[in-house]
Amino acid sequence: MQPEFWKSRWSEGKIGFHEGTPNHFLTRHAGRIADRRRVLVPLCGKAEDLAFLAAHDHEVIGIELVEDAVRAFFTEHGATPTIVRRGPVAIYTADAITIIAGDLFTVTEADVGAIDVIYDRAAIIALPPELRARYVEHLHTLVPARTTSLLITLEYPQDQHAGPPFSVPEAEVRELFSSAELIDERPATGPVANAGLAAIERCYLATVG
Ligand SMILES: C[S@@+](CC[C@H](N)C(=O)[O-])C[C@H]1O[C@@H](n2cnc3c(N)ncnc32)[C@H](O)[C@@H]1O
């Protein structure tokens, strides 16, 4: 999707992906990543997951294209971030939460710092098929080899609905990541399920690189 697509989604308030509470799989499986301190959250929106992770002793580094969404996160949490502009990105930080406002594909290892684990909810499934391999390759440049991702995907008959969110089948997850352990699944809730499609959410521990 072009940046304008996401900018208009946010400016028009069409953010059906925003859960408003910590994600079901994250709350169930947070223990699996508890010992990994610095969490990278690509395409983070203003997810409550950021605050949940920080409350569970993680240092959180989100990346979000739409700066208004980044501002909204801090405003809604009563925090006043410091803002550092560096090249194409603006780095917002308050306490244990940093959100890098900018295009993921322009973010560098120097911007994110040391990363111990990735949390991906509605990130890879927000990307069209032709961008997904590039997304995983770019993550690879940001994190050490064999970094774990707590990865949440959605599967549904793609020919019955135009994404985003896109269906990312298990076979594709296994192609994109060097390993993937399916740890949980459930019938999906949210916009795709509301459209009457049989959809399933899957949660993996996947390895990048
Ligand atoms: C489907 S939403 C998911 C947001 C969040 N993960 C959540 O669970 O609520 C995808 C988000 O990715 C952002 N986004 C899309 N393309 C991006 C890119 N290239 N770089 C950074 N953020 C991007 C969008 O603005 C949007 O907020």
- Domains, in order of start, for the chain: 36-114 (3.40.50.150), 116-209 (3.40.50.150)
| pLDDT attached to residue 194 | 84
Output the residue whose Cα is nearest ligand 1's atom 17: 65
pLDDT band at 1 (very low <50, low <70, confident <90, very high): low
Ligand 1 center to 178 CA (angstroms) = 23
pLDDT in tens, 38-59: 999 999 999 999 999 999 999 9
Lookup: tokens for 203: 């949660």
Q: Which atom of ligand 1 is nearest to the CA of 107?
A: 20
H helices within the chain, ranges in order? 3-11, 24-29, 48-55, 67-76, 109-112, 129-142, 170-176, 191-194
How many Cα atoms occupy the beta-carbon half-sphere of 35 within 13 Å? 2
pTM of the model: 0.98
| Average pLDDT score over residue span 104-119 | 97
How distant is the alpha carbon of residue 134 from its chain centre? 15
What is the DSSP code string of 91-103? EEEETTEEEEES-
Ligand 1 center to 131 CA (angstroms) = 13
Task: Work out the percent of the chain whose per-residue pLDDT is above 70.
Answer: 100
Pocket test residue of 2, 4, 6 for ligand 1, highest count of atoms within 8 A of CB: 6
| pLDDT attached to residue 141 | 97
| Average pLDDT score over residue span 85-100 | 97
Tokens 């560098």 correspond to: 108
Ligand 1 center to 133 CA (angstroms) = 16
Ligand 1 center to 66 CA (angstroms) = 8
Output the residue whose Cα is nearest ligand 1's atom 6: 44
- Does 79 have pLDDT greater than 70? yes
Instruction: Tell me if 126 CB under 6 Å of ligand 1.
Output: yes
